[in-house]
């Protein structure tokens, strides 16, 4: 899953208005930020199988340190401790931890049975396999993304073009990259996949930038300037 994680971060920002969007995006994508680093370090592996039918040709053969449930809970605790150390209240730490763990839960919905519960050979694997259906993946993940974006848009107002155009540019770029995935040729190798996945590190910074140019909308209603299409 890709934009579904972003949808939860947008929704959380709409609900908890004192937590920066960049922090929430980093939490929602935390596992996928760690994962390419571990692949490039040789600690986890991914392969490309063009014969796989569905949303993606990627086969996640070994990723217990970034994506096993036990380690995910641990990463969530680490993330919570980091935000607490930066001065955020306990509730924010809990929210960040839940977003980290939510990544595994959403991945279970779309992945083939390849998500381990704990590190180690022979562990049980989870995955409902929504990726087998391209239309189903587009519908489920697209609804999560659209819902989160709508909540954030209704409850914030842009102060400048950065807050308006920057926000919509982020949404459009993420949407295009996600929706076009089934149409693109398979990556050359697992290493190429990991190198490309490093670009995900841009998302929290981009989100933080556009969010810093937006304010809370009074009452959570659509501001008049947004209703007119200006900012």
**The 3-state secondary structure of the chain, one letter per residue:** CCHHHHHHHHHHHHHCCCCCHHHHHHHHCHHHHHHHHHHHCCCCEEEECCCCCCCCCEEEEECHHHHCHHHHHHHHHHHHHHHHHCCCCHHHHHHHHHHHHHHHHHHHHHCCCCEECCCCCCCCEECCCHHHCHHHHHHHHHHHHHHHHHHHHHHEEECCHHHHHHHHHHHHHHHHHHHCHHHCCCCCCHHHHHHHHHHHHHHHHHHHHHHCCEEECHHHCCCHHHHCCCC
Residue 175 CA to residue 172 CA, distance in Å, equals 5
Which residue(s) pair with 47 in the sheet?
A: 59
pTM here is 0.90
Give the per-residue pLDDT at 228.
38
Spell out the domain ranges in the chain. Answer: 3-225
Average pLDDT over residues 93-116: 96
Task: Look at residue 34 and tell me whether its pLDDT is greater than 50.
Answer: yes
Give the per-residue pLDDT at 230.
35
Give the per-residue pLDDT at 218.
76
Give the per-residue pLDDT at 217.
83
The answer to whether the CB of 155 falls within 8 A of the CB of 147 is no
- Banded pLDDT at 120 (limits 50, 70, 90): confident
pLDDT tens string 147-175:
999 999 999 999 999 999 999 999 999 99
Residue 129 CA to residue 110 CA, distance in Å, equals 5
Give the per-residue pLDDT at 219.
61
Give the per-residue pLDDT at 18.
84
């Amino acid at each position: 899953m890709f934009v579904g994680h972003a949808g939860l971060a947008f929704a959380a920002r709409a609900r908890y208005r004192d937590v920066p969007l960049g922090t929430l995006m980093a939490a929602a994508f935390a596992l996928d930020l760690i994962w390419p680093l571990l692949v490039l370090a040789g600690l986890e592996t991914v392969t490309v199988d063009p014969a796989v039918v569905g949303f993606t040709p990627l086969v996640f053969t070994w990723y217990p340190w970034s994506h096993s449930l036990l380690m995910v809970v641990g990463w969530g605790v680490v993330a919570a401790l980091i935000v607490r150390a930066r001065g955020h209240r306990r509730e924010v730490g809990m929210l960040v931890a839940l977003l980290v763990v939510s990544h595994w839960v959403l991945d279970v919905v779309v992945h083939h049975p390849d998500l381990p519960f704990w590190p180690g050979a022979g562990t049980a694997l989870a995955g409902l396999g929504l990726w087998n259906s391209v239309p189903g993946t587009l519908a489920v993940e697209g609804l999560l993304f659209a819902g989160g974006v709508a909540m954030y848009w209704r409850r914030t107002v842009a102060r400048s073009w950065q807050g308006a155009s920057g926000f919509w540019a982020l949404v459009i770029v993420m949407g295009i990259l996600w929706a076009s995935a089934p149409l693109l040729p398979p990556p050359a190798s697992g290493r190429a996949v990991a190198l490309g996945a490093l670009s995900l590190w841009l998302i929290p910074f981009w989100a933080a930038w556009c969010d810093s140019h937006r304010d809370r909308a009074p009452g959570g209603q659509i501001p008049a300037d947004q209703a007119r299409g200006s900012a």
